[in-house]
């Protein structure tokens, strides 16, 4: 006897898998677009200036890491704030309020106009959508496994309903049948 699973539970798992698949593919393509744009970021035409707003050490990080929070102007006149991980060599020469040279590029991420930037001379990787991509990747794998389990159970239940197993007659069934036939014949 197979366990019965409600149709709405398995359908909700299938729908969740479909939704997570859409989100994962969207985030994956946006992150690959950002990686491509960040490689072409270091160019003389993308050179600009920014103002340092905050310098701090990232806690509970080994080796010791630092970050710089700065803002710069966009082409529409608005200010954009960015936070970037920096090495100690850049950290020790920066002060609050300093003007720093950056590379910036304006683009659209998930339909929203935004910008990516990098401090000149910084070789640390940019904080893109990698954490969000990892989250949706693991969610995708989780719902893929759940979908496989529920699909297997649903198919096996359907097969059991379509092709029911024939019950082999026991000896007592044969005797009962033969006794009932004898009674009808007499």
Q: What is the pLDDT along the chain (186 residues), one digit of tens a residue?
A: 445 566 777 788 888 889 999 989 988 888 888 888 888 888 888 898 999 999 888 887 777 888 889 999 888 888 888 888 888 888 888 888 889 999 998 888 777 888 888 888 888 877 777 788 888 899 999 999 988 888 888 777 776 666 666 666 555 554 444 444 555 555
What pTM value is reported for the model?
Answer: 0.63
As a dihedral over the C-alpha atoms of residue 99, residue 103, residue 108, residue 114, rounded to 10 degrees, the angle is -10
Per DSSP, helices labelled H in 40-129 are 88-91
- In 10 A of CB 136, how many CB atoms? 21
Residue 169 lies in a domain: no
Cα–Cα distance measured from residue 131 to residue 37, given in angstroms and rounded to the nearest whole number: 18
Locate 47 and state its tokens: 């050179």
The H or E element spanning position 103 is: strand 99-109
* Residues 6+ positions from 156 with CB-CB distance below 8 Å: 2
Residue 93 domain-assigned (yes or no): yes
Q: Is 40 exposed, middle or buried (0-12, 13-18, 19+ CB in 10 A)?
A: exposed
CA distance 52 to 64: 20
Q: Rounded distance, CA 169 to CA 41, Å?
A: 78
CATH of the domain at 47: 2.40.50
What local confidence, expressed as pLDDT, does residue 5 receive?
60
3 inside domain: no
Residue 95, in any domain of the structure: yes
- Say if 172 falls within a structural domain: no
Question: For residue 1, is it within any domain?
Answer: no
Q: Which domain holds residue 49?
A: 32-124
Number of domains in the chain: 1
Q: What is the pLDDT of residue 175?
A: 47
Any idea what DSSP says for residue 129? S
Query: Is the Cβ–Cβ distance between 139 and 21 less than 8 Å?
Result: no
The answer to whether 122 touches 158, Cβ cutoff 8 Å, is: no
Whats the size of the chain, residue-wise? 186
């Amino acid at each position: 006897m197979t366990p019965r699973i409600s149709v709405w539970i398995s359908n909700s798992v299938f729908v969740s898998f479909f939704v997570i698949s859409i989100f994962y593919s969207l985030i994956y393509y946006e992150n690959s677009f950002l990686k491509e744009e960040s490689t072409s970021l270091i160019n003389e035409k993308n050179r600009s200036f920014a103002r340092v707003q905050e310098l701090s050490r990232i806690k509970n990080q080994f080796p010791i890491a630092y970050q710089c929070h700065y803002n710069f102007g966009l082409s529409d006149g608005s200010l954009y704030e960015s936070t970037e991980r920096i090495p100690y060599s850049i950290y020790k020469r920066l002060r609050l309020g300093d003007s720093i040279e950056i590379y910036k590029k304006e683009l659209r991420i998930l339909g929203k106009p935004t910008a990516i930037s990098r401090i000149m001379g910084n070789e640390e990787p940019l904080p893109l959508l990698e954490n969000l991509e990892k989250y949706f990747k693991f969610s995708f794998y989780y719902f893929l496994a759940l979908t496989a389990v529920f699909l297997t159970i649903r198919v096996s239940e359907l097969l059991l309903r379509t092709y029911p197993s024939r019950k082999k007659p026991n000896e007592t069934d044969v005797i009962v049948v033969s006794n009932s036939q004898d009674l009808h014949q007499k």
